Amino acid sequence: MAVIDGNIMAINPGEETKMQMFIWNNIFFSLGFDVKDHYKEVGGDSAAFAAPCNDLQGVRAYSSVDVDGLYTLGTVVIDYRGYRVTAQSIIPGILEREQEQSVVYGSVDFGKTVVSHEKYMDLLNKAGQHLKILPH
């Protein structure tokens, strides 16, 4: 509520309102808008509004298989006053880009750089067996 009501300072206050992100009590908050035209071809803001619920289902699925050593972010999706807000625990190291990369699988720069790690691939394969997902 504090994010939508404007009671928390954005971490990027110079950006357009729909592009702003917030951190409060070590929780990262983002809004459900198509901020960089990632969803332009599939519905823009409407698709970006739907995407957080799909992300949440993915977090739930991986969390449900309970693979030892595989961790998911604490994630919730909140609808408040017509806004969709995703609240997540902060990925270790994501705010300190100059430090050694702590994200071992995926991308933190919208796919420009994608990293992978053998140990993590093993964990994903174990989870994938439970979820009936093939490596791709």
| Cα 134 to Cα 83: distance, rounded to the nearest angstrom | 35
CA-CA-CA-CA torsion sign (116, 118, 124, 128) = positive
Q: What is the pTM of this model?
A: 0.77
**Residue ranges of the domains in the chain?**
17-91
DSSP character for 91? P
Count how many Cα atoms sit within 13 Å of the Cα of residue 6 in the half-sphere of its side chain: 2
pLDDT attached to residue 115: 86
Q: Which pLDDT tens digits describe the chain residue by residue (136 residues)?
A: 999 999 999 998 998 887 888 999 999 998 877 666 677 777 777 777 888 888 999 999 999 999 999 988 899 999 999 888 999 998 776 666 555 556 677 877 777 888 888 888 999 999 999 999 998 7
pLDDT attached to residue 106: 80
CATH architecture, domain defined by 17-91: 2-Layer Sandwich (3.30)
pLDDT attached to residue 101: 55
CB atoms within 10 A of CB 56: 15
